[in-house]
Structure 1
Amino acid sequence: MKKLLKIALLSSLPLLMFSCYYDEFPEVVEQEDVVIPPETIVSFADDIAPIFATYNCTQCHNTSGQNPDLTAGNAYASLLSGYVTPENSTSSKLYIQLADNGHRNVDANSIALIKKWIDDGAENN
């Protein structure tokens, strides 16, 4: 009986050792730096608000969910009350959350638009 147990353990050892492996490691995709030309005017209504719709931000950030409320009609006022520091994207919670923390995997172009909008004064245009 002891011999049978040893044979079973020895024959299953290679199976256990090689059963948990990865065929390949996931590729890390780095976002490239996107620069919006200085003469470009970024509009909140035409450029920024659609980003929230594209990434379904309002699924969580709505009147009964997490702050800021990004629903249509409430987004601008909600962002300017503590999430966006006009003319200073590096200290704006919105930009930090998206650019540094990669929240919702927002693409590099959208992040660049948000950065430009904030640095240009975060106008409600």
Structure 2
Amino acid sequence: MKKLFRLALVSSLSLLCFSCYYDELYIEEIPEIPEGQIVSFNDDIQPIFIQEGKDCTACHDASVANPDLREGRSYNSIFPDYVIPGDGENSEFYQKLPGIDHPISVGFVLSVDEIALIKGWIDQGAENN
């Protein structure tokens, strides 16, 4: 009887300790782009893809993973297959950003401001400007 009690006690404690584990990626709330601010693909979005330490083109260069985010190729690669103009929230490109739901094999995420710019650009119609 004592062995059964010990077994039940150890099992219960183990279950209690391991069932309380909670691991969820915390994502800060994405800020809205201020009304009247125009987000430019060439000036605001493309530089995000090639910045030092967060070079998206290390993988997204058409040889490893699509879409191809290299300068001069990125817009045609993401539009219209990955973007729903005017609907950033439901665009695959936005949903797969590092920091949202992207396999982060290179160990970086985009800042909430960078994510907001990309979402804002899509929400503004995803123009090639």
If the length of structure 2 is used for normalisation, what is the TM-score?
0.69
Partner of 2:115: 111
d(CA) in 1 for partners of 2:30, 2:111: 11
The alignment's C-alpha RMSD in Å is 2.0
SS of residue in 2 equivalent to 1:46: helix
Q: Deviations over 1:77-118 (max 9, x none)?
A: 000041111111122111001253155511100000000100
**C-alpha displacement of 1:38:** 1.5
Q: 1 or 2, which has the higher helix percentage?
A: 1
Contact 1:31 1:107 in 2 (8 A): no
Which protein has the larger Cα radius of gyration, Structure 1 or Structure 2? 1
d(CA) in 2 for partners of 1:33, 1:66: 26
d(CA) in 2 for partners of 1:96, 1:33: 12
Aligned length, in residue pairs: 99
Partner of 1:47: 44
Could you tell me which runs of 5 or more consecutive residues in structure 1 were left unpaired when the two chains were aligned: 1-27
Map 1:1-125 onto structure 2 (within 5 A).
Answer: 30-54=27-51, 55-98=54-97, 100-101=100-101, 104=104, 105-125=109-129
Between 1:91-100 and 1:42-51, the stretch displaced more is: 91-100
If the length of structure 1 is used for normalisation, what is the TM-score?
0.71
Q: Deviations over 1:53-75 (max 9, x none)?
A: 12200000003120000011110
**C-alpha displacement of 1:44:** 0.2
d(CA) in 1 for partners of 2:103, 2:37: 25
Could you tell me which runs of 5 or more consecutive residues in structure 2 were left unpaired when the two chains were aligned: 1-24
Letter in 1 for 2:114: S
Runs of 4+ in 1 over 3 A off after TM superposition: none
